[in-house]
Amino acid sequence: MKKFPSDISNEQIKDLPLIYFPGHIHVIDSAEKVGFAYQRLKNAQILGFDTETRPAFRKGQSYSLSLVQLATEKDCFLFRINMISFPQELREILENEKIIKVGFDLSSDFHQLRRKVKDITPKGFVDLQKYAKEFGLKNMSLKKLTAILLGHRLSKRQRLSNWEQRRLTEGQLVYAATDAWVTLILYKKLRDLSGKA
């Protein structure tokens, strides 16, 4: 099995080219669009997954889940939970153990999901952070994994932006799609290298 550098410095990362989701971004902000997304996602074998929550900057302040992202290699669907609540179709995908969903450090995502939907039971998930440890890549951030495995830099500039504003900016859309998509690409790369594909 191929060996990777055990670490990479921030200095090395900043010289790498940025990586962006190259496909189509679909903003799901109405019931009609939920149906469209469900038809495209329900038969997927594997998806990249992420969530975003509006950041709180004052003590005691917190916000509910704003966005759920599901990505294939060519399409990313951004479910605007603050606008459409939590559709049953999305829940079905997240609870479908036959569809592999790859995320990073899933504990925080699951916490936000359960704050929104008390009895949701996510199934079929792979935590990329844990999976990468099998390859000697320990205590890695998603940014470092992307740099080591793909030779690109992952921008985190939009992470603390307002995910509940009426219209998400182009920067927010690309950031959200890229974060979900890159987990899928990284997982496939590691899986292929392991010979388990």
179: CATH = 3.30.420.10
Whether 2 is covered by a domain: the verdict is no
The predicted structure's pLDDT at residue 60: 63
The predicted structure's pLDDT at residue 111: 93
Nearest alpha-carbon partner for 47 in 21, 75, 20, 22:
75
Whether 1 is covered by a domain: the verdict is no
Whether 155 is covered by a domain: the verdict is yes
Whether 84 is covered by a domain: the verdict is yes
Whether 159 is covered by a domain: the verdict is yes
Is 139:6 a contact under the CB 8 Å cutoff?
Answer: no
The predicted structure's pLDDT at residue 160: 64
CB atoms within 10 A of CB 82: 18
Query: What is the domain range of residue 89?
Result: 10-194
The structure tokens listed for 4 are 């990777």
Four-residue CA torsion sign, 10, 175, 99, 113: positive
pLDDT less than 70: residues of the chain: 1-3, 56-58, 60-62, 158-160, 195-197
- Count: domains in the chain: 1
Whether 113 is covered by a domain: the verdict is yes
Whether 42 is covered by a domain: the verdict is yes
Residue 103: partners with Cβ closer than 8 Å, 6 or more residues away: 48, 49, 50, 109, 125, 126, 127, 128, 183
Whether 78 is covered by a domain: the verdict is yes
